[in-house]
Structure 1
């Protein structure tokens, strides 16, 4: 593990980052006191999402569920025609 001063880290940051990318850990010190450590970041792979992942649910949801009109009281609530406690009469 290499120790460098803050001044050297500022002037040679690109070189230090290249060394860190190669796997080296570098400690940055203020005088003789270590204050920070440069370490490589381990890339995290995102899981691959496949098509048709929820196809098994297709037959469990009624096909007319989303085609029915919304009840009038629920439609009025969506349009803001009701006031509820705590909404300051809006």
Structure 2
């Protein structure tokens, strides 16, 4: 575990981030009291596919908009 004070965290943030990415626990302290834990975010492995909307539109039923024809009457 690595503990850094605020001044050190400001001046060496890149190094502390690299340590956190490597799996090391990094704590930032203010006046000797721990206040923040720097932790890497786990990547989910899923990514958005560019251009996927057209395939979603193909799966929509032809009468999709029909249910919205009388929405004003429903709200009144």
TM > 0.5: yes
| 1:9 partner SS | helix
TM-score, length of structure 2 as denominator length? 0.61
Partner of 2:28: 28
Partner of 2:13: 13
- Over the aligned positions, Cα root-mean-square deviation in angstroms equals 3.1
Q: Choose between structure 1 and 2: higher helix proportion.
A: 2
Matches of 2:34 and 2:24, distance apart in 1:
16
- Which structure 2 residue ranges, 5 or more long, are not aligned? 48-60
Q: How many residues matched?
A: 61
**Relative contact order: is structure 1 or structure 2 higher (C-alpha 8 Å, sep ≥ 6)?**
2
- 1:44 and 2:44 matched: yes
TM-score, length of structure 1 as denominator length? 0.53
- Which structure 1 residue ranges, 5 or more long, are not aligned? 48-64, 86-90
| 1:14 partner SS | helix
Query: Structure 1 stretches (4+) deviating beyond 3 angstroms?
Result: none
The alpha-carbon deviation at position 84 of structure 1 amounts to 4.5
Structure 1 segment 40-79 matched on structure 2, within 5 A: 40-46=40-46, 66=62, 74=69, 77=70
